[in-house]
Structure 1
């Protein structure tokens, strides 16, 4: 299991020489190893690869605080997964947060600006991943492996690691395409050091991510055959399926047939199966699930962070919720649901649909006060408890992994792409996939299917999994006035907002640092 035990010394050259995009990332190198001492020894390569994966889950070198990857921002609040979750969920009809940290309420209300610290931190995390991946890819070319006399199995492993680094870079650029649209573009071909990269268009970035994922598809481990927590072929295929589902938004050209093709590749591989119990997907031993294609992994001992799943589990607990049922040492009383999410389910008890995982005692359905955790029904989806009922290894830091890609999403991508007219699939199969999810949840199967039903089913199946903002944008419902939710646009009943908010702004600080950049329209 690929839980991150990182050899800090082997990461120094990455911290010191990675190509910068954002004010040189304000990195503070603190180590004394050199590129030669790291990459001349093939035994170091997996440790350096672990750092790349760890960028998704932790934000420093010792955890939970004290040696940040990027100086000037809080380690806990600037964690990649925590930022991704907040920017994808808090502006939507699924979640609101009660805190007043910096500009977080602007995220709740969809009223952010180009100087927003959370938006800037997400942008910086994306390019930190890109910088580290570029360096690793640059140092593991076939030519460099040969020059270091790295051959045989060591060279084969290095090539696989290189493909995984390209996947992680493609994932970061995918998040850039989805959230920011047009951003600075750097690859391993750009020499290390501070410079002002050009800004690639959203279409260019889409094509780049697509090309990278297709190029490495066969270089990654076969679906389900690799080490848990590492990207395999199915992870690349799942990301391609998600990319193609959103292609109309990203490029103006629909690619629904391709979405079907790549969702089918994952499904037809036969290596992933629906977990019999939906709740088990979000527990401390979810690493045993056969449904999860690619997780962001966490461990209470080895990935100690106040971001990631530590945030998601602790911040979900508050009020009268019994902390022992969540495997934590206290609740942070932060995030809860909106009535729109509640209304997707026949009831909040889980009787008619086991995916309805809510806590209602002492909680009000209406959110009249964003700063009051008791306004909004609490969500019990994520716990630091195993499927056998025992607590995780730590009550402070969480063992539960975050399922970034899983089979249930592939079923729903297939269904939506078919209904949007994609070739290569059929409605009966789409209906069957949706009903497999509903049957697992003990919900009544449906006899027909339309696009609105698929959006609702995505809400029931995938809520709080970091996808809702993209879903609402794809359906044209994120900014307009025809569909509203509490505090959309900064008012209690909700209202439409400017279409500019379909993209986050390029941070003002980067516009100053790089005159090659142009701000997204409207900011």
Structure 2
């Protein structure tokens, strides 16, 4: 989040080289009970004791009581980008039939699951982007990381980057795959702000500014009620 690519690479590299984690072979495993090999930090489901992810199910599952205002559905533009020919994620994570007229996410359509807060896929993508940003010998590592993600997504190497891919190409691929891999997991807004803070570029497809006031969490009104001089955060401005 600091765009500190040297340290981001170093720490992500330590995690990957620990050989304690693997990419899940199946996309169904990320939100499962005990099947994921990717979870670095998360909440485990424990029967009769701990049932994490309740609000993810209540808010975002699309196979029970779908409501367009409260359920996770994506635009047709994003759906087209996320379901390109041969991409296994298209059939694993989306449906156009559960709620006719909507492109809904199916990641959370389960009664119970472990909730990953930090996973190996994200670490691979962090290392890939950071490696491409730092360049030199790290670029080859970045290409390998992206190709590992792409090989799983397409069930083969047909979409892999060439071994001589430019750093800019790898960076764009890392950002694209982050959006596709972590869809519905609360990551996108952080990317909009991170990239905007570094480059001033607004990557939100709806044209929203990366630093619009409405993105800041508002203080409780009780703070101002207790102290009339307390300044609340500015609101709105996210056209």
With normalisation by structure 2, the TM-score equals 0.77
8 Å contact from structure 1 (residues 344, 456) kept in 2? no
Distance 1:317 1:408, change over 3 A: closer
Q: Structure 1 residue 354 and structure 2 residue 88: aligned?
A: yes
Structure-2 residue corresponding to 1:71:
none
Kept after mapping to 2: 8 A contact 1:435/1:446: yes
Mapped pair 1:376 → 2:102? yes
3-state secondary structure, aligned to 2:81: coil
Are residue 439 (structure 1) and residue 180 (structure 2) matched?
A: no
Q: Pick closer, same or farther for the CA change 1:495–1:459 going to 2, 3 Å.
A: closer
Query: Given that residues 313 and 383 in structure 1 are in contact (C-alpha distance below 8 angstroms), is that contact kept between their aligned partners in structure 2?
Result: yes
CA–CA separation in structure 1 for the residues paired with 2:26 and 2:142: 21
Distance 1:513 1:259, change over 3 A: farther
Aligned counterparts of 2:71 and 2:175: Cα–Cα separation in 1: 22
Conserved 8 A contact 1:299-1:399: no
User: Which digits, 9 at most, give the CA deviation of each residue in 1:245-277, with x for residues without a partner?
Assistant: x11xxxxxx421111111111111111111111
Note if contact 1:344-1:459 (Cα within 8 Å) is conserved in structure 2.
no
Give the alignment's TM-score, normalised by structure 1: 0.38
Question: 8 Å contact 1:260–1:417 — kept in the other structure?
Answer: yes
* Cα pair 1:482 1:496 within 8 Å, conserved: yes
Query: How large is the RMSD of aligned CA atoms in angstroms?
Result: 3.1
Three-state SS of the structure 1 residue aligned to 2:108 is coil
Give structure 1 stretches of 5+ with no counterpart.
1-245, 248-253, 322-329, 364-373, 385-397, 486-493
2:56 to 289, 301, 312: 312
Q: 1:295 aligns with which of 30, 42, 49?
A: 42
Which ranges in structure 2 are unaligned for 5 or more consecutive residues?
none
- Asked if the contact 2:29–2:35 (Cα under 8 Å) also holds between the matched residues in 1, the reply is no
Of 104, 114, 124, 1:411 maps to 124
Once the 2 structures are TM-superposed, how far is the Cα of residue 439 of structure 1 from its aligned partner? 0.9
Give 1:288 shift: 3.5
CA distance in 2, matches of 1:516, 1:289: 50
Residues 192 and 204, structure 2, Cα contact 8 Å, conserved in 1: no
Aligned CA distance change for structure 1 residues 484 and 267 (closer, same or farther; 3 Å) = closer
Q: Does 1:279 align with 2:23?
A: no
Q: Does 1:428 align with 2:140?
A: yes
Match of 1:342 among 79, 88, 91: 79
Match of 2:214 among 477, 501, 509: 501
Instruction: Write the deviation string for residues 436-467 of structure 1: whole angstroms up to 9, x where unpaired.
Output: 11111225212233433222110111111221
TM-superposed deviation, 1:504: 2.1
CA contact (8 A) 2:73 2:104 kept: yes
Quick one: distance in 2 between partners of 1:506 and 1:462? 28
Cα deviations across residues 355-411 of structure 1 (Å, max 9, x unaligned)?
222111264xxxxxxxxxx55301112232xxxxxxxxxxxxx42011101111111
SS in 2 for 1:295: strand
- Report the secondary structure of 2:148's partner residue: helix
Mapping of residues 70-469 of structure 1, within 5 Å: 246-247=1-2, 254-283=3-32, 285=33, 287-299=34-46, 301-303=48-50, 309-318=53-62, 321=63, 330-333=64-67, 334-339=70-75, 340-347=77-84, 352-356=86-90, 357-361=93-97, 363=99, 374-384=100-110, 398-421=111-134, 426-442=138-154, 444-447=159-162, 448=165, 449-469=169-189
> Aligned pair in 2 of structure 1 residues 428, 496: CA closer, same or farther (>3 Å)?
same
